[in-house]
Each structure stands twice: as C-alpha cells, then as structure tokens.
C-alpha cells in the first residue's frame, strides 16, 4: 500500500508538510506574521495599541468602527447568531478586521515615532471597507448579487 504524501494545507500549495500542516515556506510566513496578528487581535478586543488608545484621531476613529464589525462577526461565530448583513461571510469578516487592524497598529506605531504610515494602510483600508459596504448593500462582499 502506497501512502499519499501529505500536502501543505495552504490553498494551492502542493509541497509536503513541514510543521503544523504547512510546508516550510508557509510555516515560516505564519511564524513571522504572528506578532503583528496578535497585536491586531489585541487592538480589536481592547481598543489599545501597546497598552494605550491610538493617539492619532483618524486611526482611533477607524479602529472604533472596525471593532464594531469585529464584535459583530465574533458574535456570529462564537454564539451561532444569525446576522442578515454578514450572512455566511462572518469568518471572512474576522480576517478582514485583523488585516486592517494590523495596518492600523503599524500606522499608529509609526505615528508615535514621528513616521508616516506605510502605503499598504490605504490599500487595505479601501479593500476592507469596500467589502463591508457591499455587505451592507445586500451584496456578497465581492460586490456580486447574493444567490436567491
């Protein structure tokens, strides 16, 4: 009997598993991203970055708005609540929130250090808020009409 080679769980990757069901490349990417992801999740839960609320008013307001979506998506996932707006996209919504929160955390740290935020903040911001806008409009997050 020939055993099938176990493959990386990352979508589209057929490399063999290294650790944690990921190939070496994807495992190293995951480990490198963990500190930023943890900081983003903490900001979403607590509204603080490194123990303090954001000093930049724009970033503070945006984090506050984002936390509302985060709470809503977490309620759907944790308590099996139904949500007409999020529908079946609550899990994706948490990923979008984390992505934008990570950019907000990085931008706030840059602001505190007297530096400009990275250009990826604006790109991620547009991408995330477009998805939430589409959901509020009754569409799927990608802007396509929901199947009936």
| Number of other residues whose CB lies within 10 A of the CB of residue 79 | 7
Domain residue spans of the chain: 34-136
Q: Does residue 121 contact residue 104 with C-beta atoms inside 8 Å?
A: yes
Structure tokens at 31: 């480990």
C-alpha to C-alpha distance for 59 and 48, rounded to whole angstroms: 11
Residues with Cβ within 8 Å of 122's Cβ and at least 6 positions away in sequence, in order, are none
C-alpha to C-alpha distance for 54 and 42, rounded to whole angstroms: 13
pTM of the predicted model, to two decimals?
A: 0.79
Q: What is the pLDDT of residue 32?
A: 74
Q: Residue 143 carries which DSSP code?
A: S
C-alpha to C-alpha distance for 112 and 108, rounded to whole angstroms: 6
Query: What's the whole-number mean pLDDT along residues 74-84?
Result: 94
CA dihedral 60, 62, 68, 69 (to 10 degrees): -150
Give per-residue pLDDT as tens, 4-63.
678 888 888 989 888 878 888 888 887 777 778 899 999 999 999 999 999 999 999 999
Q: What is the pLDDT of residue 96?
A: 96
Q: How many percent of the chain have pLDDT more than 70?
A: 97
Q: Does residue 118 contact residue 106 with C-beta atoms inside 8 Å?
A: yes
E strand or H helix that includes residue 101: helix 90-112
Give per-residue pLDDT as tens, 31-48.
777 778 899 999 999 999
Cross-strand bridge partners of residue 19? 22
Per the prediction, the chain carries an average pLDDT of: 91
């Amino acid at each position: 009997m020939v055993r099938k080679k176990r493959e990386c769980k990352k979508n589209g990757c057929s490399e063999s598993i290294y650790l944690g069901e990921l190939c070496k490349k994807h495992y190293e990417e995951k480990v490198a991203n963990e500190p930023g992801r943890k900081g983003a999740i903490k900001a979403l839960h607590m509204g603080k970055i490194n123990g303090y609320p954001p000093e930049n008013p724009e970033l503070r307001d945006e984090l506050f708005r984002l936390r509302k979506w985060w709470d809503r998506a977490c309620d759907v996932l944790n308590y099996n609540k139904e949500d007409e707006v999020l529908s079946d996209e609550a899990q994706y919504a948490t990923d979008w929130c984390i992505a934008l929160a990570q950019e907000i955390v990085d931008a706030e740290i840059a602001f505190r250090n007297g530096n400009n935020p990275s250009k990826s903040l604006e790109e991620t911001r547009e991408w995330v808020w477009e998805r939430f806008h589409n959901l509020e409009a009754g569409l799927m997050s990608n802007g396509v009409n929901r199947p009936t």
